[in-house]
Amino acid sequence: MDEKQTNWKSQAMLFLISQCITLFGSTLVQMAIVWYVTIQTSSGVWVAAFTVCSYLPQFLISFVAGVWADRHSRKKLIIGADSLIALVTFLMVLAIPHITDKTIILYSLLVMSVIRSFGAGIQTPAVNAVIPQLVPEDQIMRFNGINATMQSVVQFAAPAAAGVLLTINTLSSTLIIDTATAIVGIGLLSAVIIPKQAIQNKGTSVFLDMKIGIKYTLSDKLIGKVLTVYGLFIFLCVPAGFLSQLFVSRVYGETYWYLTAVELAGFIGMVAGGILMSIWGGFKSRVTTMSVGLIAFGSLAIGMGLSKQFALYLTLMIIYGVAITMVQTATTTLIQEKAEMSMQGRVFGLLGAMYSGFLPVGMAIFGPMADEISLQWIMIGSGIALIALSIFVGTNKEMRLSYHIKN
């Protein structure tokens, strides 16, 4: 193994570790706040308000953040966003002991959530656009698989840690830990040597550059369709994925064991999917990998909707975790490989907008619908739609031709 190969691997892994550390703190706080609000208010309105404040600012800033990621140093943007999140969180730690009114604390946490969401929206396009600068093109899919595995472990461990901390300590302790993880993550990221990017700043306005990025994405026969498919995928994931606990409580019973087992099954599947992608690397065509992941996910949604036995449902949930990792890893890798380096930030900004936009829309539509129509039938319907989407991706000559031309 030559020195150059060793160097990119060490730099890429250091970058990945720094992001996982900050992700742990962010997920810890996000879960702690939701549980705190639920326990303190038992109000669906308050929980909904915090959910909106976690996604809407990120959606709104994603368009501009993508331009910033192409105009400025991505490393500095990530450090700046992490610093902003750490600062507002630390200020909240200082403020809580002096606030006696519970309602004021809730509104203060709401403001903090908005600022943290803006920070996440700034950070995400820059993080995804940095990876092709660090990792050779033929290793990106495998690297994204490792990234998916590590993120799945972190996102499983953080809620468990949040539950323990809130049981034995206070909300402030979780906020302090998040501040500490941000400082450690920033320190590690500062040591990462990222190859210099070609800065695109010709004196044009941010909004003109944003318009150029949108035009580029829509005019590209491959990337435009990939983003559209991804948005529809996130929307159609809601019934089988994000409403899984509601489904389990209605069909199998409201027991802590069932709900915990579902979370654990999804976690095992996503970790397995990340390991699979890091070793296998997917099909040679990322379009094929995406199509196979979609048809698997759709079939699993139908199977879970029809399942009458909890053991079978858990088995399908594990495979579901593998399928969702396949789709997400293939989507991210495809953009990293095929979008022009000067446009990566803007394209990933739009990808982030697809997630933070389509997910709340799906929750807003399928959540109330589940009170009127059997959730089993909604899951089956979404599964059929996902299979149809998979067929579109797998048979679309324009997508396949564009991929091979770019390849």
* 204-239 confidence digits (pLDDT tens): 788 899 999 999 999 998 999 999 999 999 999 999
* 13 contacts 169 by C-beta, under 8 angstroms: no
The stretch 3-18 carries a mean pLDDT of 82
* 79 contacts 190 by C-beta, under 8 angstroms: yes
| Helix (H) or strand (E) segment spanning residue 126 | helix 102-134
- Whether pLDDT at 27 is above 50: yes
- CA 334 → CA 239, 263, 301, 370, distances in Å? 26, 29, 25, 34
Q: Which of 74, 123, 115, 85 is nearest to 352 (CA)?
A: 123
- Total Cβ atoms within 10 A of residue 42: 9
- Residue 309 DSSP SS3: coil
Residue 21, token pair as written in the block: 């550390």
Q: Which of 334, 349, 147 is nearest to 229 (CA)?
A: 334
* Greater model confidence, 343 or 262: 343
Q: How far is 132 from 197, CA to CA, in rounded Å? A: 10
Q: How far is 46 from 40, CA to CA, in rounded Å? A: 10
Band of residue 250 on the pLDDT scale cut at 50, 70, 90:
confident
Quick one: 337 exposed, middle or buried, by C-beta within 10 A (0-12, 13-18, 19+)? middle
pLDDT of residue 22: 95
pLDDT of residue 297: 95
pLDDT of residue 2: 47
Band of residue 314 on the pLDDT scale cut at 50, 70, 90:
very high
* 74 contacts 126 by C-beta, under 8 angstroms: yes
- Whether pLDDT at 1 is above 90: no
* Greater model confidence, 214 or 402: 214
pLDDT of residue 5: 55
Domains of the chain are 1-139+168-190 (1.20.1250), 205-407 (1.20.1250.20)
pLDDT of residue 181: 95
Over the chain, what is the mean pLDDT? 89
pLDDT of residue 87: 96
The stretch 267-293 carries a mean pLDDT of 91
Residue-wise pLDDT for 116-146, tens only, equals 999 999 999 999 999 999 999 888 999 999 9
Residue-wise pLDDT for 157-178, tens only, equals 887 787 778 777 788 888 999 9
Q: How far is 392 from 386, CA to CA, in rounded Å? A: 10
pLDDT of residue 94: 95
- Whether pLDDT at 404 is above 60: no
Select the highest-mean-pLDDT range: 153-167, 196-210, 337-351: 337-351
Q: What is the pTM of this model?
A: 0.84
Burial 214-238 (b: 16+ CB within 10 A, else e): bebbeebebbbbbbebbbbbbbbbb
Range scoring the smallest mean pLDDT among 56-70, 186-200, 316-330, 331-345: 186-200
pLDDT of residue 138: 84
Q: Which of 265, 277, 322, 275 is nearest to 297 (CA)?
A: 322
The stretch 230-251 carries a mean pLDDT of 90
Query: Residue 17 carries which side chain, given as an amino acid letter?
Result: I
- Whether pLDDT at 403 is above 70: no
Which backbone phi and psi does 374 adopt, to 5 degrees?
A: -55, 130
